[in-house]
Copies of this chain bind each other. A is one copy, B any other.
Amino acid sequence: MLHRAEIIAVGSELLTPHRVDTNSLAITQRLNDIGIDVRAKAIVGDDRGDLRALFVQALGRADLIVLTGGLGPTEDDLTREVVAEVLALPLVEDESITARIRRRFERRGLRMPEINRRQAMVPRGAAVLDNPNGTAPGLVIRREDKTVVLLPGPPREMKPMLDVVLREHLEPRTAGMKVIRRVVRVSGRTESHVEEAAQPVYSRWTAGQLPVSTTILASPGQIELHLSVRSDDSREADSRLDDAVSELVQALAPDVFSVDGRTMEEVVGGLLRDRHLHVALAESCTGGLATSRLTDVAGSSDYVERAVVCYSNRSKVDLLGVLPESIEAYGAVSDKVAIEMARGVRARAAVDVGVAITGIAGPGGGREGKPVGTVFVAAVWKGEPWARRFQFPGSREMIKFQASQAALDMIRRLVSGES
């Protein structure tokens, strides 16, 4: 039975500052789907000693080791040799592979360079995976209770082989287990406050027949709870996760904004569309970011009527009808001005919801009582003004993002009637 996998990506280019290994994402997804956990990933250069050490260690820990890259024809390409050596299998030329590579070159009117014979060397007993998109075949080797899979590095060569490996070599040897996932997204609480509220809930799920695993992921303006269940019965797993998600929603409502993978802008867009509402925004410190995010959603022209980015005080007066006296008396960064902005943009655009953001994104501009990160978000909805003051941490870009998130979240709470 296969339970536990490690992935090793081979190639010195993957150790430069410019390349990340993305093959492992596709491999992880496919392995998870059939209930195999990826416990670790490693990236190593074209170095015999380093590759050997990592492979030996992975072999000690995992049932399944997937190696990508290092199957090319040059002397740098060491994966075949190192794997054969560690597993003490002789490398034998497979003439049918040589013939196939030769034909591939001939079809392009080229002679096969002799070095490509290296790609036909196969550890004895290995199953060969045809490569329709390149010269390097893949290999599957079983040795006692361990399975080793060698795949080429280029994604377009690797991916079609992955299908064959899963179907023919791995899936028949799993317990029929699958991993089903859910993501719960929360806005308006810090990571620790989400944890505090969620911990007593999800500590109950780790026991019992179908334990739910949870991971908490924090990013600015948003906390995600990732839940997963491993089961051979996907209906049972789905229903277990449905229960878990609704318990969490109960503990955290109304701060949960998504349980189906949708982003804040998609959720807000969906609410506006379903209710046939239109929105207009007045953005100062966010500089258009909130509107840009709303319009990242296809079809958003159905509910975004307009926005104004009123960076100068003059534009707040001209475009929104903010009273110069209000700016004078309370400052452009104040709940009064935020509300006047929201009223102004709503009235002029003749829409249902007007939203406004004004604040200090920094790094300059902070002052006594209004430090950098001070942001007022206001909305006018059904004639009523709403305003809230926030104090966001972080860089200018993070403050902008959190302010845009707070504005979208205010629309969500008002329109869904949860505020």
Contacts and interface: CB of A to CB of B under 8 A. Distances in A.
Interface of A: 12-18, 20-22, 25-26, 28-29, 32, 38-47, 50, 53-54, 57, 61, 72-74, 76, 104, 107-110, 113, 115-116, 133, 154, 156, 190-193, 195-196, 215-219, 226, 281, 283, 286-292, 294-296, 298-301, 304-312, 314-315, 318-319, 348-349, 361-364, 391, 393-398, 400
A39 B26 contact: no
A286 B292 contact: yes
Per assembly, the copies of the chain total: 2
A301 B285 CA distance: 9
A92 B13 CA distance: 41
B41 A396 contact: no
A192 B116 contact: yes
Contacts of A296: 287, 396-397, 400
Given A18-B25, A28-B17, A362-B298, A309 B307 contact: yes
B192 A73 contact: yes
A73 B196 CA distance: 11
A300 B69 CA distance: 37
Given A17-B28, A20-B21, A398-B156, A311 B301 contact: yes
Nearest to A72: B191
Contact of A305 (B46, B50, B294, B312): B312
A264 B402 CA distance: 23
Contacts of A396: 296, 298
Given A41-B15, A364-B298, A395 B304 contact: no
B393 A226 contact: no
A216 B395 CA distance: 30
Nearest to A4: B50
